[in-house]
A and B are shown apart, each in its own frame.
Chain A
Amino acid sequence: MKQLSIGIVGAAASVLAATVSFAQQPPVKIGLILPYSGQFADTATQMDNAIKLYVKQHGDSAGGRKIEIIRKDSGGIAPDVAKRLAQELVVRDKVDVLTGLVLTPNALAIADVSAEAKKFTVIMNAATSIITTKSPYMARVSVTTPMLNESLGSWAAKAGGTKRVFSMVSDFGPGIDAEEGFMRAYKEAGGQIVGSVRFPVANPDFAAFVQRAKDSNPDGIFAWVPGGVQPAAIGKALNERGIDPKKMKVMGQDALASDEALASQGDLALGIITVANYDHNLANKLNRAFVAAYSADYKRNPDFFSIGGWDGMHLIYEVLKKTGGKTDGEAMIGAAKGMKWDSPRGPMSIDPETRDVIEDVYIRRVEKVAGKLVNVEFDTIRSVKDPVKARMK
C-alpha cells in the first residue's frame, strides 16, 4: 500500500516535472512551403491533408516538445517567392525545420537558405536528383525521377518483353529526366528506342504526338506527363488513334494512371503500366489503415504527394525523438541519416551517405477489380537507391 502510494506520488512528480520541462521548452516550429494556389494547388491539398492526418494521429508533440506548423503559399513555380518565404520563416518566425517543397525549382532555391541557416530540411516531393546535394541539411522522403524511370526502363526490356519503344515526354526538367532515365536503362538492357518527342509543358492536345508515335510503329510507348489535366488527355488521344494499352504496352510514371486520370478515361485505361513508389492499393496493413483514415477524413484516396507528406512528418517526429528535442541542423540531419521505418508504402530508409531515400519501387497495371479500375502491383524492385548519385561517385 505504502509502496503504491509512493509510486503514485513518484509518478505524479515525474508527470509534473515533465509538464514543467514541457512548458519551459518553446515549440518546435516547422515551416511548410507548398504551392497552395495556382496550377499545382491540388498537390498541396493532397500533401497537406496527409500532414494534418499525421498530426491528428500522433499528437502535436514529439521528443518532449510541441510542434507548430507555419504554412506558406509559394504559388506554383516561383523560386524567388519560395526563397523569400524560406528566409522569412528563418529570420522572422524562427523555424527549426523547413519542409514541403513539391516543385524542383522552388526546392533548389531554398537549398541556399537551408545551407546558410543550417536548418534541417525535408523534401516531401521534388524529385530531381541533384536537389539534396545542394545543402548538407537536406533529406528526401519522396523519390527521384531516375529511381522510377530507370527501374521501368530495365523492366520494359527484360520482363516487359518490348523491343522497340517510342518515348514522349513533357519538355521540362522532370520530363527530360524521366526520358533520360528510361532510355538509358532501356538501351542498357538491350531495347531499341525507335523515336522520341518532347512536347511543350502547356499542351492541351496530344493527337499530333500520338500520331507520330504510331507512325514509327513501336511495340511500346513510354509517356511522361505531369499530373493533373494531362494524363487523361493523353489517354484519350491514344484511344482516338486506336492504340489499345491492352495490346500495345503503354508505360509511364505513377501520375499517368492517377485516380483522376482513371476516372476520366474509364475502361480505356485498362492495361496501362506504370512505375510508382506508392499506391493506395498496396496490400499491407499499415497502408490499409492509412488509406481508411485518409479517405474517412478527406473523401478521397491518398496519392504519392500524400505519402510524401506523411513520411516527411514521420521523419521529423522520429528525428526529434532521437535528438531528445534538440533542433540544431547538425543534430537533426545526423539523426535522420540511416533512419529506417515501415511506411504505408513499404520499408524505407534514409541513405546515410546521400541523405536521399531508399525504398521499394512497384510496377503496376491498370485492372478492373470488383468493378473498379485500380493499379495492381505485379512486380517489385527492392531497396532502390537514386542511380544518378550512385554514378556520381
Chain B
Amino acid sequence: MASESESGAAFSPRNFLASRTRWHALEIVFWLSTLLPFVLVPDYLQLASQIAIAALFAISLDLILGFAGIVSIGHAAYFGLGAYTAGIVSKYGVSEPVLLLVLAAIVSGTLGYVSSFIISRFRHLALIMITLGICLMLYEVANLTSWLTGGADGLQGIKIGPLLGTFKFDLYGKTAYAYALVVLFLCFLVCRRLIHSPFGLSLRGIRENPVRMPAIGAPSDAHIRKIYTIAAVIAGMAGAVLAQTTSTVSLEVLGFQRSADVLVMLILGGAGKLYGGILGSIVYMVARDQFSGINPQYWYFWIGLMMVLVVMYLPNGLLGGLEKLTRRWRGKS
C-alpha cells in the first residue's frame, strides 16, 4: 500500500480516489486492442470468446480474493449455477440471450448472498475448504438431479436464440466474441468503479486486518457479504455466456478443475489488480491452446513449467512482476 500513498501530492481521500479512477492511456490502448482479433485473427474468435469468459470469471474471483482476501477454491459453484440456469431456462422457450444472462445473474447472486452469511464468518483454511465444500455439494446435486440437468451426459436440448433477436451465434464465433467482450467490458467498468470507491478501499482494509476495520466504522461482515454476492453475480454471468456461446452445459462447469483453473489464471496474472485476471486468462488460455496443439499428450508439462518459472522469477504474478521491472527500469534511467 506504500506506493499508493506516495502518488497523491495534495493528499485527500477524495483526490486520491479521483486519481485512481482516471483512465490510464495504457488501459485505453488495451481495450481498443481487444477489438483487433476481429481483423487480425478472425479464425481465432471462438478461442477469443472463451478467453473473454475466463477473464470475466477471473475478475469475479479477483473481487473476493484480491480485494477482500477471501481465498476460494470453489468459485465454479456460481459459474456452474449460472451456466445451468441459462441452459435449463432456454429449454423452456426463453431464448433471448440477454434475458437469460439476467436470470443467471439473479440465480447465482441469490446463492452467493445466502452462502455469504457462512463465508463471512470464517478465515484461513476453514474458509478455503468451505468454499470447496459448497461447490462439491452443488456438483453432487447437479449429478443427482439428472432429470433436470442431464447428469453426466450434459444438458441436452439447449436452444439459444439470436442475440437481441438479430445476431446468430455462428461457427466463426463472431457473435460469441462480440457478446462475451461486451459483457466483460461492462462488468469490468462496474468492478473498476467499485474498487476505487470508498467501499473498495474498506474492503482492502478488511483484507489487511479484518478485526481493526469494524473499529473504525467499516462493518467487515456486511462488506464481505456484499462483495461476495457481487462476485457470485459476475461468475454466474460468465457461466451463462459460456452456456450460450457454446450451447453446452455439463457437470464439469461445477468441477474442481474449473475452480482451480480460474485460480491459476488469476494468480498467474496477479491478484488484486483487476487487469491481472484478464492478463492471466489470456496468457494461460493462449499457452494452453498452443502447447496442446503442438504436443497434445504432454502439454501439461510445459504449462506447469511456465507456472513454476513465473512464481520463481516474477512473484505476485505477471502483472506484479512487470510492475516491479518497470519500476526498476525507471529507477535506473
The chain A residues found within 8 Å of chain B, CB to CB, are 34, 36-37, 41, 44-45, 71-73, 75-80, 83-84, 87-88, 90-92, 104-105, 108-109, 112-113, 116-117, 128, 171-173, 176, 200-201
Contacts and interface: CB of A to CB of B under 8 A. Distances in A.
A204 B63 CA distance: 36
Nearest to B42: A91
Given A34-B296, A173-B151, A200-B143, 19 more contacts: A37-B297, A37-B300, A71-B296, A73-B296, A73-B299, A78-B252, A79-B246, A80-B246, A84-B46, A84-B246, A87-B173, A92-B43, A105-B248, A105-B250, A108-B156, A172-B151, A172-B153, A176-B151, A201-B143
B143 A172 contact: yes
Given A90-B171, A91-B171, A79 B154 contact: yes
Contacts of B292: 36-37, 72-73, 75
Contacts of B299: 37, 73
Contacts of B257: 76
A55 B119 CA distance: 56
A91 B43 contact: yes
Contact of B172 (A91, A105, A173): A91
6 contacts: A34-B296, A37-B299, A80-B242, A84-B47, A92-B44, A108-B153
A113 B173 CA distance: 12
A344 to B, nearest CB: 25
Contact of B154 (A41, A108, A113): A108
A105 B246 CA distance: 13
A351 to B, nearest CB: 22
Interface in B116-173: 140, 143, 146, 151-154, 156, 171-173
B331 interface: no
Nearest to A88: B46
A173 B152 CA distance: 6
B21 to A, nearest CB: 35
A46 B333 CA distance: 58
B88 interface: no
Contacts of A108: 153-154, 156, 248
Contacts of B43: 88, 91-92
Q: Mostly helix, strand, loop or mixed at chain B's interface?
A: helix
Nearest to A130: B156
Contacts, number: 97
A108 B140 CA distance: 22
Contacts of B72: none
Contacts of B300: 37
A80 B241 CA distance: 11
Contacts of A36: 292, 296-297
Contacts of B156: 108
A77 B151 contact: no
Interface in B229-277: 242, 246-253, 257
B13 interface: no
Given A37-B292, A84-B46, A90-B171, A112 B297 contact: no
B250 A77 contact: yes
Contacts of A45: 297
A87 B46 contact: yes
Nearest to A108: B154
B50 interface: yes
Contact of B248 (A41, A73, A83, A176): A83
B293 interface: yes
Contact of B171 (A44, A78, A79, A87): A87
A79 B248 contact: yes
A112 B169 CA distance: 12
A83 B246 contact: yes
Contact of A79 (B47, B151, B250): B250
